[in-house]
Amino acid sequence: DADVTQTPRNRITKTGKRIMLECSQTKGHDRMYWYRQDPGLGLRLIYYSFDVKDINKGEISDGYSVSRQAQAKFSLSLESAIPNQTALYFCATSDTSGGYEQYFGPGTRLTVT
């Protein structure tokens, strides 16, 4: 089984709808991240969490919110989706005691029409 899983893998939704993307990990890592990937822009950090009680904004947090339900679960919400939030979304984890490398889930492709 994959160490970092994301659900759903693909989602098409309409403008104005609320969407939640979920991430679960079995790696036992304390740090979790949400990124979006757009062609030609690489990955940009949306939110990150260093433990269950710690939530921090990344460089592009506007229009997004997150919830860290447990050490293993980190959800990303789009309260009112808009077309320019169409992107590939990745969850990642890392370990405080590790070397800062991050481990990525398979991604969620979100299309907002």
- What residues make contact with another protein under the rule CB under 8 A? 4, 33, 40-45, 48, 58, 90, 92, 99-107
Determine the Cα–Cα distance for residues 70 and 76; give it in Å rounded to an integer. Answer: 14
Q: Are 92 and 47 in contact (CB under 8 A)?
A: no
Looking at the Cβ atoms of 12 and 41, the one nearer to another protein is 41
Determine the Cα–Cα distance for residues 82 and 10; give it in Å rounded to an integer. Answer: 16
Number of H helices, E strands in the chain: 0, 11
Determine the Cα–Cα distance for residues 4 and 2; give it in Å rounded to an integer. Answer: 6
Least Å distance, CB 6 to another protein, is 8
Looking at the Cβ atoms of 47 and 81, the one nearer to another protein is 47
Least Å distance, CB 28 to another protein, is 17
Least Å distance, CB 99 to another protein, is 6
Looking at the Cβ atoms of 48 and 112, the one nearer to another protein is 48
Looking at the Cβ atoms of 9 and 17, the one nearer to another protein is 9
Least Å distance, CB 60 to another protein, is 12
φ/ψ (deg, to 5) at 29: -80, 150
